[in-house]
Structures are given as structure tokens and as C-alpha cells.
Amino acid sequence: MESYDFNTLYEQHKNLVFNLCLKYLQNTEDAEDITQEVFIAIHNSLHQFKGESKISTWIYRIAVTKSLEFIRSKKRKKRFAFIQSIFTNEKGEIKTEASHFYHPGVVLENKERASVLFAAIDKLPDNQKTAFILSKLEDLSYSEIAEVMKISNSSVESLLFRAKQNLKNYLGNYYEKNEK
Amino acid sequence: MNTKQKWINEVENSLDGLNSLEVNPYLYSKIINRLNERVDQTSPKIIWASIASFVVIITLNVFIITTSKSNAIENNSDLQIVAKQYQLINENTINYN
């Protein structure tokens, strides 16, 4: 089995992990924090990597898991803050809607439209979101996505179909409300 | 194609050609610092784990000693009853136990 050096792994995958986390979290600081978490997890469990899949697939899996965990914990905190504000009658700053995210890597003329798409992606269920991000934004093949998500190729296909359908519905409603 | 559908398609394709960003150059040292901190943090954990296991061992020992003592007293009284029934003990003998 091939042995991996942490420094080399970091150099080879740092941008991949950071950019993937950014697509999930839609916030540069959060993406940086989770990138740290991902590499700490990689460092601590590198000895457990059996080489059954490609190292990049394994890293993708860790990054996806950490990003989704962070999103869930953020949602939990928001819910808790909301409940707390009911009991304490305080007017805390609770954002129920995600603020617009302008990805620095998007070309200027697409900035507004891309931010709408990011808001729509954010609304997708975890599995559909992962399938969509890995396919559309990371350009992974169905079999690579299946390996990352530990599901079959046909499940990936069906998740992508549902994700695209949900995005269309969301964008349709958004158009009716804001663009018409 | 109507305007709505055209707009949806444009939005869907707005992330095509998305440029990859460079990670913060200081991130690596932050990670290494955190990894070193974790190594330092493990020692109090080990200390607490050993204290906890020590307390568990002491409690178990005390429990075993007290239960075996009470069992011994019970066994002793049973023995005396049997001894009395078979008249192995003289009633007039003073028991110094």
C-alpha cells in the first residue's frame, strides 16, 4: 500500500478542499475553518486509510461530511437562538434567510445570477446538494460521486434528477417573485 | 423559449467556468499549530482517565471487601447453628468471638 506524507497531501489538495467547502458553506471564513478541520481529520486518520479508493475520493468524502456537519450545527444554533429569543423576549439578530453569497471566482456579469443559484443550492436536501455540487461544480463522474457518497450510480442519477427539478422549481418561484 | 425559462437557464449556467480560489497561505501553519495544541491537550485527558480508573478500582475493592466480610459473618453464624444442633459446642463454654 502506498504511504502518504501529510505535507504533500496538503499541498496537493488544499485548494480542492477549500473550494469544495466554500461551495457548501458559502462563506470564506467558514470554508477556511472547515478546511482546517478536514486536514486535521486527514492527519489523524491517515493511518486508517486502506487504499480501497483513490486518496482524493477519501479526501472528498471527509470534506463533504465536515461541511454538512457544520451546516447542520449552524442550523441547530439558529433554531436554539430563535427559541431562546421567544422565551427571553429579546430581539436577537436571527437570519432566517441565507444572505446573498457572491463567490469571488464568478465572472462579474454572472455575479447576481450565481448568487441566486447558490441560494437555491443551499435549499436542497443534503444528498441532492452533494450530488449536484460534485457533478455540476466539481465535474466528477457519476462513478466518482457514487464512490464519495457510498451509493450506486443509479442513486446518483436519481439524486441529480431530483436536485435539478428542485432547483428549477425554486428558480421558477424566485423569478415570479423578484424578476417578473 | 419564454423569458422565464431563458432566465432559469442563464442562472443554472452562471457557475460555468467558476474560477478556483487559492487558499490562505497561513492556513498550513494554523493547522500545524492546532495539531500541536491537540498533542499537548491529550496529557490532561490521560491524567483524568487514570484518576477515574483509580477511583473505580478503589470503589470495587471496598465493595468486594465489605460484601465478603458480611458473607463471612453470615457463614460463621450458620456454622454455630450447625455446631449447636450436633452439640459440638458446650452451652456453658464462653464464646470469646
Say if CB A159 and CB A142 are below 8 A apart.
no
Residues 6+ apart with CB under 8 A from A28: A22, A104
A113 and A78, same structural domain?
no
User: How far, in Å, CA of B95 to CA of B97, rounded?
Assistant: 6
A67 and A114, same structural domain?
no
DSSP H helices, chain A, are 6-25, 28-45, 55-88, 111-123, 126-132, 142-149, 153-174
- Chain pair A-B, CB pairs under 8 angstroms: 80
User: How far, in Å, CA of B71 to CA of B63, rounded?
Assistant: 12
| ipTM surpasses 0.90 | no
User: How far, in Å, CA of A65 to CA of A34, rounded?
Assistant: 10
Q: Do B23 and A104 count as a contact with CB atoms less than 8 A apart?
A: no
> What's the structural domain count of chain A?
2
A89 and A45, same structural domain?
yes
A110 and A132, same structural domain?
yes
Q: Give the residue from B75, B9, B13 showing the smallest Cα distance to A106.
A: B13
Q: Do A114 and B14 count as a contact with CB atoms less than 8 A apart?
A: yes
A174 and A127, same structural domain?
yes
A174 and A104, same structural domain?
yes
| B1 secondary structure, DSSP code | -
A171 and A103, same structural domain?
yes
A85 and A107, same structural domain?
no
Say if CB A55 and CB A12 are below 8 A apart.
no
* CATH number of the domain enclosing A51: 1.10.1740.10
Full domain range(s) for residue A28: 1-95
* DSSP H helix total and E strand total for chain B: 2, 0
What pLDDT score was predicted for residue B82?
79
Which segments in chain B show pLDDT lower than 50?
none
> Which chain A positions have a beta carbon within 8 Å of B21's beta carbon?
15, 18-19, 22, 104-105
> Which chain A positions have a beta carbon within 8 Å of B4's beta carbon?
172, 175-176, 179-180
Reported confidence tier of residue A122, pLDDT bands at 50, 70, 90: very high
Closest-CA distance, A129 to chain B, in angstroms, reads: 14
pTM of the model: 0.74
Across the interface, of A15, A117, A176, the residue whose CB is closest to B14 is: A117
Count the Cβ atoms, other than its own, within 10 Å of residue A33. 17
Greater confidence (A88 vs A126) lies with: A126
Q: Do B7 and A179 count as a contact with CB atoms less than 8 A apart?
A: yes
Closest-CA distance, A78 to chain B, in angstroms, reads: 27
Structural domain ending residue among the three candidates A47, A68, A95: A95
Which residue in A has a C-alpha nearest to residue B10's C-alpha?
A113
A119 and A71, same structural domain?
no
Could you tell me the end-to-end alpha-carbon distance of chain A, in angstroms, rounded to an integer?
59
Query: For residue range A11-56, what is the model confidence (pLDDT) as tens digits?
Result: 999 999 999 999 999 999 999 999 999 999 999 999 889 888 899 9
Q: Do A106 and B19 count as a contact with CB atoms less than 8 A apart?
A: yes
- Helix/strand/coil percent split, chain B, to 5: 70, 0, 30
Cell of A151: 451509493
* CATH number of the domain enclosing A133: 1.10.10.10
A109 and A86, same structural domain?
no
Cell of A79: 433554531
Structural domain ending residue among the three candidates A79, A95, A111: A95
Reported confidence tier of residue A146, pLDDT bands at 50, 70, 90: very high
Cell of B28: 498550513
A155 and A119, same structural domain?
yes
User: How far, in Å, CA of A71 to CA of B39, rounded?
Assistant: 28
Count the Cβ atoms, other than its own, within 10 Å of residue A155. 16
